[in-house]
A and B are shown apart, each in its own frame.
Chain A
Amino acid sequence: MTAPSSARGACRSDAEDGCITCGDVAVELTVELVDVDRGLALCSDAAGRQESVEIALVGPVRTGDRLLVHAGTAISHLGSAANPADPGRAAEEVGRP
């Protein structure tokens, strides 16, 4: 067996945030444009980085909606900018198990 590689991974991962694609990690993105014919949405993160996202698993999507995205695929619909879910209430529930 040869010596293990000393090269560091070139993934978007790091010790701080983990690996988005390899782990069971998902990120929240906001929909900017929807291409219904191709089943894709152009989404952006809080820092403005954009990526195309598969939207086949989350039903109708509109500009401003927030999606939970894993490996380029939206796995959950988190609500829209106009009608957000209420995380404050959820946090309150967490505080009172």
Chain B
Amino acid sequence: MKYVDEFRDAELGRALAAEILSLVEPGRDYKLMEVCGGHTHSIYKYGIDDLLPENVELVHGPGCPVCVIPMGRVDDGLAIARHEEVIFTCFGDMMRVPGSEQTFIDAKAAGADIRMVYSPLDALRIAKANPDRTVVFFAIGFETTAPSTALTLKRAKAEGVGNFLCICNHVTIVPPLRALLESPDLRLDGFIGPGHVSTIVGARPFEFIPRDYGRPLVTSGFEPLDVLHGIAMILRQIAEGRAEVENQYARVVPYDGNHAALAVMAEVFEVRPHFEWRGLGFISQSGLRLSDAYADFDAERRYETPGVRVADPKACQCGEVLKGVIKPWECKVFGTACTPEHAIGTCMVSPEGACAAYYNYGRFAREREVV
């Protein structure tokens, strides 16, 4: 298959692993963060970390949109979903994310009309097919997904679909990266930059990382050779004393992004003054809400929501996992009270979550043996 088989070639993988080995200095530790949950998933699916020298450590970043949703926002969605006239729609992974008392699946079992959709466009179709109901779409995701929501809202407006609303939880990737770099308890040597977010925003917005913090970032694809190549490019920069933004995923990522996507996002959304991230707290200008031009489609303006900050369960250490301070298996409840079937924390819910990725690909057993 084009763009797949070529990037899973074992021989090329071994050559890249040898290249990586030649680039690291013995006795020096390298800590690289993969920003995106999709990379975390690839790393454990293909055992990429097994190909790396022992002194190269991969740290999982905050780039799984499900994992960073705080419980309070789930509660806000649930409050809207319980209205009798509402058909509440969300992506599949959101269905299992715990709020303070229920998940969306629990609420559905209790009688709320909650439906899983594959895209915002699916939610709009439901709205058009049910003109006597109010259809609310729970929008989550980084800049990869936000244009899809924006285009759907624009379509709803153009077609005069008045019973379609959105509760917007879209977030942006640059502010949490800056917050991580300012964090005193985290030392990172470089970043594997997000692949598909960069398809929308480009690689240019990450230039502040080498400029202000002296760390390299390489935007990378998701196939095993992409990730290995990205790691090699970061290590080469470090070996040569450089810190730059480089684009490994140039076959998909334009350096300046997708102008049409950025334009529709600017029309439909505006930046919130602050937004809460699970584990990272409130981060300035990191979330999006609907602009005044789309106020009629804003579920938060139509319905009362609790809007309350809810503390995570005490046993849950998702915050430290999301900041890369601890490994998933170092969490007190990993693999015992918290599993993909009985998730306490968001990182165990989504396959892109670091904990679920560890658990699903057998890292759990191996790491415990090491201990």
Contacts and interface: CB of A to CB of B under 8 A. Distances in A.
Contacts of A51: 118-119
A25 B39 CA distance: 9
Label chain A's interface by main secondary structure.
Answer: loop
A95 B45 CA distance: 21
Interface residues of B, number: 83
A76 B94 CA distance: 26
A19 B91 contact: yes
Contact of A28 (B3, B63, B65, B145): B3
B199 A76 contact: yes
Given A23-B37, A23-B41, A56 B151 contact: yes
Contacts of A4: 98, 103, 342-344
Contacts, number: 213
B6 A97 contact: no
Interface residues of A, number: 52
Contact of B119 (A2, A7, A71, A97): A71
A72 B96 contact: no
A95 B92 contact: no
Contacts of B260: 56-57
Contacts of A15: 340, 351, 356, 360-361
Interface in A20-34: 20-26, 28
Contacts of A88: 6
Contacts of B292: none
Contact of A71 (B103, B145, B351): B145
Interface in B327-352: 340-344, 349-352
Nearest to B225: A94
Contacts of A83: none
Contacts of A44: none
B278 interface: no
Contacts of A48: none
A11 B90 CA distance: 10
Q: Which 4 A-B pairs have the closest CB atoms?
A: A11-B92, A72-B119, A91-B6, A15-B360
